[in-house]
Amino acid sequence: MNNADDVLIGLDPEQRAVAEAVRGPVCVLAGAGTGKTRAITHRIAYAVRSGVVDAQSVLAVTFTTRAAGELRQRLRALGAPGVQARTFHAAALRQLTYFWPRVIGGDAPSIIESKLPVLAEACRQVRRTPERSELRDIAAEVEWAKVTQVGPEDYVAAAAKHHRTPPIPVEELARLYEAYEQIRRERHLLDFETILELTAAVMTEHREVAAQIRQQYRYFVVDEYQDVNPLQKLLLDTWLGGRDDVCVVGDPNQTIYSFTGASPRYLTGFAVEHPDAAVIKLVRDYRSTPQVVDLANLVIAKGRSPHRLELVAQRPDGPRPAFSDYDDEPAEAAGVARAIRKLLDQGVHSREIAVLFRVNSQSEAYEEALSKAGIPYVLRGAERFFERPEVRQAVVLLRGAARSASGEPLASEVHHILAGVGLTPSPPGGGKAREKWESLKALADLAEDLAAEGGDLPAFVAELERRASEQHAPPVEGVTLASLHAAKGLEWDAVFLVGVTDGMLPIIYAETPEQIEEERRLLYVGVTRAREHLSISWALARAPGGRKSRRPSRFLDGLTGRAAAPPRAAAAPRERRQVAAPVSCRVCAKTLVAAAEQKLGRCSTCPADYDEALLERLKAWRTTMAKETKVPSYVIFTDVTLQAIAERAPATEQELRAIPGVGKVKIDRFGEAVLSLCRA
């Protein structure tokens, strides 16, 4: 392409309006499947090729390394190869590292990938021994505080203002936060939040640094702007330095990370911050059939957001979304596996099928069902492709072979090398062996694609290294199993949304109207991942023979073609307040006063008779549930409640309900799992 106008060919009217709005401020409200990446890359390329801006003066910022890599790849194809496309952290770290010797001096600090080791040491300093799940919850709370610019001294007040529920008392978390920061500074360490904070501080305190960076970058594009947090916004404003040549792109319907500190108000309030901004809406959906788009519009229309975008489908008609209920979770998983087998028999590739769920712990039933059906699957969000042992081993062997030319055709040579680490002509049955085989097969397929373009082994190794740096994994054959959060930004021909019940979606811990609305948007994200086939299902009970007390998600009311489940009856008003009877110790018969003793049913000094193995099983289960549902462990059950369960070892739901701290909501959500552990 030589003519700048060539870049505009093939764009729809709204995408073209984005591309031609070459000067900021510009706000692009882009619905799911409307081609936002296409629009913003063509805008950058058009601005560069028409001489509005030099490619080296553009900084395109996004949230993942893979998304940044895709932007660079598309811009190269459009004739704008010099544009910088990076994540917030990568761009800030590059600048901070460059200016460190000049403005700070000495060795640059080390970057920590995880806060957990430093936090563990901070816990030892304050004489606390947390479980690993609790440590992760503490780390998440510290990250929230840092991205919202709340220091240790202000954390207690901020936590109360924002209705935070930290895993430990707020005063103790504030002390841990302070200890973490002290250790980090003493050890000369930077975490991801401090990278952004320091970069902004260096620019603010050193005018010559700010001038040089602003001289370099004059033209900004920020993708996924609905997910920007206050710290990222601070850095962006510092980069801009009062200028307004910025284009932001996002979808208010896909705001699903508020719990991490992300705020959609920067997107929805952009036109208020910049009154002269051009606001362009992309609503033509090229991804999904009208049937899928109609359902997505209905899901979001029932919400409370004033900023929703109504999509307009551009594809031909397809099948109507299917709604299915099952007696229990194993039956639901088996039914989904049968439906997937039917799609495979119709010619749909397994890599174009996804099973999406609210929390990762739901995947186990589908892993088992797909394995039994002989259907390969891939767990997304587990281990990154290029970090898998078999892939790392293969890349090392390929890199070594590339140093000495053999003269053998690329595809043949790669197949020969991969055969030595487990690639066979036909796949094994299932499980880990099948996962390993699929990884190696993906490398072999990529080699065949490059061979068709005339590439050799050194070029193939270079391509693998580029993809590894950008986390751009080759497509792996297999049904994708992923959480709804992990599925954002992806799409498949067929999507199965499973476990869509009240208590799971919305999750039981979503209590405020804002939290409920975010759960609705999560369902919307799931629906809009489907191009053609969409199935939504739920199970009425957790296990076979269990009480069928579940109901489909309230978000589906009026959408399934079935009568909505009757609302739960309100409790009858009481004429007078009931006073609880005194609780006596079951060991010494003394009246119990302390809440913890009442929950245990004995004095704290009386001997306890319980199964230690059961208590360990209960704690391990709670840890898993807390991790998967992204809540503190104590929200599932407190330590005292688990101790009481272990001591009483309830065999029936009635016995479990008799334990203080185990109410109806927790019986519905966790009762069968707890009773199963007790019976074991």
Q: Encode pLDDT of 121-150 as tens digits.
A: 999 888 888 777 788 888 989 999 999 999
Q: Is the pLDDT of residue 282 over 80?
A: yes
| pLDDT given at position 1 | 47
Given strand 353-357, what is the order of strands in its sheet? 322-326, 530-539, 492-497, 353-357, 479-483, 377-379
Domain count, the chain: 5
Asked if residue 431 and residue 362 are part of one domain, the reply reads no
Mean of pLDDT values over 48-61: 93
Asked if residue 350 and residue 215 are part of one domain, the reply reads no
Q: What is the dihedral of CA 59, 63, 69, 73, to 10 degrees?
A: -60
247 versus 463: which is more confidently predicted? 247
| pLDDT given at position 590 | 59
Residue-wise pLDDT for 311-367, tens only, equals 999 999 999 999 999 999 999 999 999 999 999 999 999 999 999 999 888 888 898
Mean of pLDDT values over 78-107: 90
Asked if residue 207 and residue 82 are part of one domain, the reply reads yes
| Burial (Cβ within 10 Å: 0-12, 13-18, ≥19) of residue 240 | middle
Segment among 150-154, 472-476, 503-507, 522-526 with least mean pLDDT: 472-476
Mean of pLDDT values over 242-248: 93
**H helices of 189-269, where?**
192-205, 207-216, 230-240, 265-268
| pLDDT given at position 606 | 65
Q: At which of 556, 587, 612 does a domain end?
A: 556
Asked if residue 212 and residue 183 are part of one domain, the reply reads no
Q: Which domain holds residue 88?
A: 4-93+203-282
Mean of pLDDT values over 221-230: 93
| pLDDT given at position 463 | 86
| Burial (Cβ within 10 Å: 0-12, 13-18, ≥19) of residue 378 | buried
Segment among 4-8, 376-380, 546-550, 565-569 with least mean pLDDT: 565-569
- Identify the DSSP state of 370: H
Its pTM stands at 0.74
Q: Is the pLDDT of residue 570 over 50?
A: no
Q: Is the pLDDT of residue 376 over 90?
A: no
Q: At which of 506, 526, 556 does a domain end?
A: 556
**Is 486 part of a structural domain of the chain?**
yes
- Identify the DSSP state of 34: S
Q: Is the pLDDT of residue 50 over 70?
A: yes
| pLDDT given at position 113 | 84
Asked if residue 510 and residue 454 are part of one domain, the reply reads no
| Burial (Cβ within 10 Å: 0-12, 13-18, ≥19) of residue 571 | exposed
| pLDDT given at position 524 | 96
Q: Is 400 annotated as a binding residue?
A: no
Asked if residue 132 and residue 89 are part of one domain, the reply reads no
Mean of pLDDT values over 213-234: 94
Q: Is 365 annotated as a binding residue?
A: no
**Is 215 part of a structural domain of the chain?**
yes
Indicate the helix (H) or strand (E) that contains 84.
strand 84-87
Q: Is 626 annotated as a binding residue?
A: no
Segment among 446-460, 541-555, 558-572 with least mean pLDDT: 558-572
Asked if residue 430 and residue 375 are part of one domain, the reply reads no
Do 392 and 369 contact (CB within 8 A), yes or no? Answer: no
| Burial (Cβ within 10 Å: 0-12, 13-18, ≥19) of residue 44 | buried
Q: What percent of the chain has pLDDT over 70?
A: 90
Mean of pLDDT values over 177-193: 92
Check which CATH number belongs to the domain holding 649 and give it: 1.10.150.80
**Is 377 part of a structural domain of the chain?**
yes
Asked if residue 527 and residue 398 are part of one domain, the reply reads no
Q: Is the pLDDT of residue 594 over 70?
A: no
How far apart, in Å, do the first and last CA atoms of the chain sit?
Answer: 68
Q: Is 37 annotated as a binding residue?
A: yes
pLDDT band at 305 (very low <50, low <70, confident <90, very high): confident
Q: Is 36 annotated as a binding residue?
A: yes
**Is 303 part of a structural domain of the chain?**
no
**Is 122 part of a structural domain of the chain?**
yes
**Is 665 part of a structural domain of the chain?**
yes
Q: Is 543 annotated as a binding residue?
A: no
The C-alpha angle with vertex 41 and arms to 36 and 43, in degrees rounded to 5, equals 95
State how far Cα 69 lies from the chain centre: 19
Q: Is the pLDDT of residue 548 over 60?
A: yes
CA–CA gap between residue 182 and residue 41 (Å, rounded): 43
Place of tokens 């759960």: 519
**Is 580 part of a structural domain of the chain?**
no
Q: Is 35 annotated as a binding residue?
A: yes
pLDDT band at 574 (very low <50, low <70, confident <90, very high): very low
Tokens, residue 160: 């109360």
Residue 59: other Cβ atoms inside 10 A: 21
Q: Is the pLDDT of residue 438 over 90?
A: no
| pLDDT given at position 520 | 94
Radius of gyration of the chain from its Cα atoms, rounded to whole angstroms:
28
What is the DSSP secondary-structure string of 175-194? HHHHHHHHHHHHTTEE-HHH
Mean of pLDDT values over 14-18: 95
| Burial (Cβ within 10 Å: 0-12, 13-18, ≥19) of residue 637 | buried
Q: Is the pLDDT of residue 512 over 70?
A: yes
Contacts (Cβ under 8 Å, ≥6 apart) of 262: 226, 227, 228, 229, 255
Asked if residue 179 and residue 254 are part of one domain, the reply reads no
Check which CATH number belongs to the domain holding 495 and give it: 3.40.50.300
**Is 299 part of a structural domain of the chain?**
no
| pLDDT given at position 184 | 92
Residue-wise pLDDT for 312-321, tens only, equals 999 999 999 9
Asked if residue 489 and residue 371 are part of one domain, the reply reads yes
Q: At which of 187, 214, 239 does a domain end?
A: 187
Asked if residue 393 and residue 367 are part of one domain, the reply reads no
Q: Is the pLDDT of residue 568 over 50?
A: no
Mean pLDDT for the chain? 86
Residue type, 664: K
| pLDDT given at position 598 | 58
Q: Is the pLDDT of residue 586 over 70?
A: no
Asked if residue 212 and residue 88 are part of one domain, the reply reads yes
